[in-house]
Amino acid sequence: MNTKVLVLNRSYLPVHVTSVRRALSLLYQDVARAVDAHYRTFDFASWADLAAHEDAIGLVGRAIRVPRVILLVAYDRVPRRHVRFSRYNIYARDQNRCQYCGRQFPRSELNLDHVIPRSRGGTSVWENVVCSCHRCNRIKGGRLPAEAGMRLIRQPFRPQWTPFMLETFSMRRYQEWMPFLSGIDAAYWNTELVER
């Protein structure tokens, strides 16, 4: 009963993870459909008619198969929420690529660099912090990129990810979720950087 159910919007985009109880309730209220491994959708009655396998829940006197994925029939938005400003999210945004020399590195070989140094009034915000390799970091020192003869390969920006991506990575994921999670890196878990 501790298992979680992946919630998709009407366009099959993952938006949320919920409890089995809540998923079945949404199914029962007819605002959601269960989705099986073949992308077929079921309303409550047709889902309840499926033979319950080992992963079933007792409900109103019968065994009902636990859905792994449900689809919200009337919901087509992807909820947007604050994206945590964290080391890992900055690495993820920059894809572990030094934003000065453009090379990819293991995370252990990357620093965060303030494009406008803090000593010059630069702040710790998405638009002023980038990944930098140790070498580029050393070369740049406390200078502006132009002063160090360096250029950013891309202007830093605030990413627009869905909360779903940020919340589920520390969670156990099911095989049935995977077709809907492709393209999402598993490493966005993070802690917020406190300094601003």
Chain residues that interact with Zn ion, rule: CB under 5 A: 98, 100-101, 133, 136
Distance CA 94, CA 29 (A): 42
Antiparallel, parallel or unpaired: β 41-42 and 56-59: unpaired
Q: Which is nearer to Zn ion, 41 or 128 (CB)?
A: 128
Q: What is the smallest separation between the CB atom of 153 and Zn ion, expressed in angstroms? A: 10
Q: Which is nearer to Zn ion, 8 or 136 (CB)?
A: 136
> What does the buried/exposed string (b/e) look like for 107-118 if buried means 16 or more CB atoms within 10 Å of the residue's CB?
eeebeebbbebe
Q: Which is nearer to Zn ion, 100 or 164 (CB)?
A: 100
Q: What is the smallest separation between the CB atom of 195 and Zn ion, expressed in angstroms? A: 23
SS3 state of residue 74 = coil
Q: For residue 183, what are the contacts with CB-CB under 8 A and spacing of at least 6? A: none
Q: How far is CA 176 from CA 2, 5, 12, 62, in A?
A: 16, 10, 13, 24
Q: What is the smallest separation between the CB atom of 190 and Zn ion, expressed in angstroms? A: 22
Q: What is the smallest separation between the CB atom of 141 and Zn ion, expressed in angstroms? A: 13
Q: Which is nearer to Zn ion, 72 or 101 (CB)?
A: 101
